[in-house]
Structure 1
């Protein structure tokens, strides 16, 4: 049986000098094992709080959050915030030490985790020499070393250059293929194309839960104040001029193929 993350009527509220501030309001959400769910929302929509609830880092004020005994770990937006060790090896071992993993198991677990994120050749290197993308990959390796079932990526590509973003996204794709559940928080609309499912928050509530194609091509994207990726903008412009494209392209590659089919 597949394990799930399930939120039932979850609300989170905080006391402030101006009264009670509700951040999440009656969230119902189920995420199945192996899904890649992209979580989006404008600033203040509650997406970061929702991520913390899913990781068990934030208590709920109302409702029920269940995780089926899943191990949930987070990769943070700022890669510096999650690095503890002086070397790559020391850092990837830190989480295992906190969980009292048998020291004899640590070297193999560390090696396997670093291999999966393509950092095995940097085992003894100082973390200060790593690029931003490599530091995020090291954060992912730490999650893998403690055998996380679910990895929450909290805008982990926000501070990366395009090449590093692609590197991290490529590793994430491989992890999903290996059965990991991914919850991907982002402001980059291009990254929705990788997801099985998009969940959009607005004012602490679920405003959309469905596919990326429906999000962009059914008008939800504009309604929620987001700008669609360039490939979607071009496709919609062409269709507005009477050029019918097959498949509702999301990426430049899909757009190129769709335009090529029309031209043939």
Structure 2
């Protein structure tokens, strides 16, 4: 992997009356090409503002952002906020039209993008008939159609049911395997297991950067006011009772394997 996005001492502040409200303060962050970075933080921590900075949607007050020619697109928390076209095809084409893509190339690029998210069979489906999960997949397809190198997912599973969440996560995993860079913002602690690295923000500053296992098993999660996922909670309880689990499990499957190994 090589560096794709670099933030150097980036700060964002807004004027509030006669005062200045700092949202992001002196953030240093390097994102590697093909990395799945999970960005977390309590409400008001600055994570959504930082996401907009990465996409070029929010000006910075100081510091430097280097993108090395990287195209960064965002999938929003509310799928309705990113839909413009009346049909699936029209919506995917909207972004391409804004970027002056050759009209003759649009049908093929739209088809390929929709195929990657499993929606090519819904090409002419009215967007009003789509489920919440399908609308988020449509947003992802729009990013792919404009050939985004990196995609920011701003809590895109927050408003979805469990089945739709898994559908979106599955597509994200496939994009990761294809070499896309993913910046995944979430409040769901279970989703940290998918990432290569976790970055936590607190009051606009980076307060943790490391592996999910370190985040959950070295006391950081609780210190920052988060509740570990159920599998991690069970692992903690078993360890408190003297059972030494191997591998520090993050998921139910990993927990099942670790517990099974105790009896072998």
Q: TM-score, normalised by structure 2?
A: 0.99
Instruction: Write the distance in 1 (CA, Å) between the matches of 2:263 and 2:236.
Output: 17
Deviations 1:150-186 (A, max 9, x none): 0000000000000000000000000010000000000
Q: What residue in structure 1 maps to residue 80 of structure 2?
A: 80
Instruction: Write the distance in 2 (CA, Å) between the matches of 1:219 and 1:73.
Output: 33
Q: What residue in structure 2 maps to residue 33 of structure 1?
A: 33
Q: What residue in structure 1 maps to residue 7 of structure 2?
A: 7
Q: Offset of 1:4 from its aligned partner? A: 1.3
Q: Offset of 1:3 from its aligned partner? A: 4.4
Deviations 1:3-53 (A, max 9, x none): 410000000000002500000110000001000000000011000000000
Aligned-residue Cα RMSD (Å) equals 0.8
5+ residue gaps, structure 1, are none
Q: What residue in structure 2 maps to residue 45 of structure 1?
A: 45
Matched, 1:68 2:68: yes
Matched, 1:108 2:104: no
8 A contact 2:92–2:145 mirrored in 1: yes
Matched, 1:256 2:227: no
8 A contact 2:76–2:154 mirrored in 1: yes
Partner of 1:108, secondary structure, is helix
8 A contact 1:3–1:70 mirrored in 2: no
Partner of 1:80, secondary structure, is helix
Partner of 1:23, secondary structure, is strand
Aligned pair in 2 of structure 1 residues 244, 125: CA closer, same or farther (>3 Å)? same
Deviations 1:125-152 (A, max 9, x none): 1001100000000000000000000000
Matched, 1:58 2:50: no
Instruction: Write the distance in 2 (CA, Å) between the matches of 1:3 and 1:199.
Output: 16
5+ residue gaps, structure 2, are none
Alignment of 1:235-246 (within 5 A): 235-246=235-246
Instruction: Write the distance in 2 (CA, Å) between the matches of 1:167 and 1:54.
Output: 25
Partner of 1:237, secondary structure, is helix
8 A contact 2:41–2:47 mirrored in 1: yes
Partner of 2:30, secondary structure, is strand
Instruction: Write the distance in 2 (CA, Å) between the matches of 1:141 and 1:59.
Output: 26
Partner of 2:239, secondary structure, is helix
Q: Offset of 1:2 from its aligned partner? A: 3.2
Instruction: Write the distance in 2 (CA, Å) between the matches of 1:103 and 1:86.
Output: 18
Q: TM-score, normalised by structure 1?
A: 0.99
8 A contact 2:197–2:209 mirrored in 1: yes
Q: What residue in structure 1 maps to residue 228 of structure 2?
A: 228
Q: What residue in structure 1 maps to residue 198 of structure 2?
A: 198
Partner of 1:183, secondary structure, is strand
Paired positions, count: 264
Q: Offset of 1:195 from its aligned partner? A: 0.2
Q: What residue in structure 1 maps to residue 188 of structure 2?
A: 188
Q: What residue in structure 2 maps to residue 126 of structure 1?
A: 126
8 A contact 1:136–1:156 mirrored in 2: yes
8 A contact 2:41–2:202 mirrored in 1: yes
Q: What residue in structure 1 maps to residue 215 of structure 2?
A: 215
Partner of 1:157, secondary structure, is coil
Instruction: Write the distance in 1 (CA, Å) between the matches of 2:4 and 2:230.
Output: 34
Q: What residue in structure 1 maps to residue 140 of structure 2?
A: 140
